[in-house]
Amino acid sequence: MESSNGFEEFEKRIGVRFVNKSLLRIALTHRSYINENKGAAREHNERMEFLGDAVLELVITEYLYGKYPLKPEGELTSYRAALVRTETLAEVAGKLKINEFLLLSRGEAKDTGRARQFILANTVEAIIGAIYLDGGYDVAKKFISNQLFKIADEIVVKGAWLDAKSRFQEKAQDAVGITPSYKVISEVGPDHDKKFVSAVFLGKDKVAEGEGLSKQEAEQEAARAGLLAKKWG
């Protein structure tokens, strides 16, 4: 990522040519890289992520408002939440192979799973912020359109806009007539960095477990695992 060739390759991949290459570098720089490489970079991507998050939400809201004129506000809000959630943005990051260009500390580079998903999703938002700063709203909108509008249509058609707990409850009530229940089965770590493991039950039968940084996230992960375990999609 240090060479101009690295920038050019990434620009081709995302379909955007930057005037100010330093904006792209900042967007791809995680806080941990600066902490480990003093003097190598002056700024990480968190402020840019803050900006990109707002641009992304506006573009998605504008698209959904025009695309689905008969849908109520509550449903449109659920569609938008499904599009900007960590899993969706991490999927976009995977398709663009952002991992190959991301500047991370050696420790963070070893992380996988949920922690890496958060980093990748946040980087997508930072890249949107960089595109907006460099080329303006229309260029950012085109990038978001290319990466997310098709996914938006798929989410609506498949009903994937429902969160995992809602989908699991809907499937469970249809298939077995039981409303799922959840129970925290373990808590690990200090208060500032606690991880929860929750299980989802159908009656007395434990279906699956999930881990998260909050009880709510652990329940969502358990429901997601339950959908897979039951092959309910």
- Continuous segment of H or E residues that includes residue 107: helix 106-110
Provide, for the chain, the percentages of residues in helix, strand and coil under a 3-state DSSP scheme, each rounded to the nearest 5: 65, 10, 25
CA 48, CA 27: separation in Å to the nearest integer?
A: 7
**C-beta of residue 120 within 8 angstroms of C-beta of residue 94:** yes
**C-beta of residue 17 within 8 angstroms of C-beta of residue 40:** no
**C-beta of residue 82 within 8 angstroms of C-beta of residue 155:** yes
Is residue 53 part of the annotated active site? The answer reads yes
Angle of helix 86-96 relative to helix 114-135, nearest 10 degrees?
A: 70
- The residues that bridge with 198 in the sheet, in sequence order, are 184, 210
Alpha carbon of residue 28 to chain centroid? 16
Is residue 163 part of the annotated active site? The answer reads no
Task: Determine which one of 11, 43, 111, 125 is catalytic.
Answer: 125
- Active site members: 53, 125
